[in-house]
Every structure is written in structure tokens, then in C-alpha cells.
Structure 1
């Protein structure tokens, strides 16, 4: 992935999640450890899903992360305030789509960005399922 800043498409909803910096997130270099960012990518994607889909839909479908790719651009220190993640999805490809995440500090500076590839699965069988067309409008700009 290039270090060109990720920007959402005009037709996509950008879902914003505040991120808390905890003491256990800070590594020996005095900033948020790289592994924490991987967890944030997964947590932010699930927060978006949980916020936009009802209990019945979530009981039928689930998502499996297939890969994460992250660019670390600016360290986030232990006293950072106002850190947020902004996320949106790309185009579906059968059962898969990419989810994009920008992590910004309280001043709006890009600290990290990532792309995760997710696969929709049937909760009962855990087999991949094509993303239903009825699901897609939920991810569009509101």
C-alpha cells in the first residue's frame, strides 16, 4: 500500500470511532505499539457493523478478517487526546470487500492508515457468502 493518504469515496459513509489510549498500549519507545493498531482496525470495523445492522442480521452473518495492511506515519503518545478512527468500505467482490481506516490524532493529523480485507460468512456454517445487494446501501453516505 502506498503512503498516499487514504480518502473516502464521495458515496461512502465515513464512520467515526473515538479511540482510547491506555497505559498497556504504550511500548518501550513511548508510543502506541504497532500491534494495538491491528486490534483497532478490527474493532473499528466491527463497531461500524454493529452500529448499522440489527440483531437479526448480525445473528445470520459475520465477518472474518483475511488480511490487514497498515502504514504507520506518526507516533501516538501516552497523553494523546481526541484520537479517532475513520472507516469506510470499498466495493464488494463476491463475499469480500476492503475496509479502509484512517487513525488521526486530536489535531486531525494522520497517524496511521490501513486496509483490511473482510469476508462475509454464514454464522452457522462459517462458509463465505456473497455480500447481498440489500446490505450495500447501509454503507453509503447518509
Structure 2
């Protein structure tokens, strides 16, 4: 079963540009964070949102091409087809709008926590079903 691809667009602002004249590396991670949150809020039930929170355990980023001021960025995300205990892999591709190849590819490992106790929780099957 293939996971749904969730897409958002972001403008590149002056504050995103580093001393080399392109989007700063940390901004790519901000895009990944923002789309992960938006995807979660769009697909999880209100009960799930009240019960769980996610924290990042690891990011792996491959930078492929520079983004510049004035570019519109299309960010695509999806999750692995299965969670592994409390961990779930999320994939993000960041494109200059209209480009065929991504400017960056990110794989992040997220961990599910209980929203109240902040203790690790196994990802329940009904949660996985909402995203794949």
C-alpha cells in the first residue's frame, strides 16, 4: 500500500537567504517541520491530536540544487507504509515549483509520545491507517 503524498507551497523570503545567496540549509528543515505538522493536523482525528505529540529523532538531508529569493517551493511529504514501534519514518522532497527533480530530499525519523506524560507510545494501527 502506498502512502498518500501531502503537498504544500512556500515562498522563498529574504530572511531565508544566506550569505551565499541561496536558501539557508536550516530553512529546508523548517519546510520539513512545517509540512509534517500540517500533514498531521490534516489527517489525524481531533482525539489523536489531543492524545499524541511527535518528536524528531533524526534528520538525513541530501541537498541537490539551490533555491533562491523569489522562488516558489513545492514541498511533498509522505510516511513509510508502516511504523516500527513508536518510530515512524517521514519522507520530504523539496522542489523549486515546476522542477522535475528535487532541490533536497529529507528522511526524518519521528517518535510518538503521549501528549500528557511525554512518554513513548507505540504507533497504533488506526493512526497508521489515516496516513497510508
TM-score, normalised by the number of residues in structure 2: 0.94
Is 1:119 matched with 2:111?
yes
Write out per-residue CA displacement over residues 20-79 of structure 1, whole angstroms, 9 at most, x where no aligned residue: 211100011111000111111111111100111132220111101111111110000101
Query: Please, which runs of 5 or more residues in structure 1 have no aligned partner?
Result: 1-9
Distance 1:133 1:77 in 2: 41
1:86 aligns with 2:73: no
Structure 2 equivalent of residue 24 of structure 1:
15
1:132 aligns to 2:130 (yes or no) = no
| 2:50 is equivalent to residue 33 of structure 1 | no
**Contact 1:42-1:65 at 8 Å conserved across structures:** no
- Any idea what the Cα deviations from partners look like across 1:93-138, whole Å, max 9, x if unmatched? 0000110000011122310010010001000110110000111111
How is 1:101-116 mapped onto 2 (pairs within 5 angstroms)? 101-108=92-99, 109-116=101-108
Contact 2:11-2:70 at 8 Å conserved across structures: no
Equivalent-residue separation in structure 2 for 1:37 and 1:112 (angstroms): 8
Distance 2:117 2:11 in 1: 35
User: 89, 96, 121: which is aligned to 1:98?
Assistant: 89
Structure 1 match to 2:38 = 47
Report how many residues are paired.
130
Q: Name whichever structure is richer in strand by fraction.
A: 2
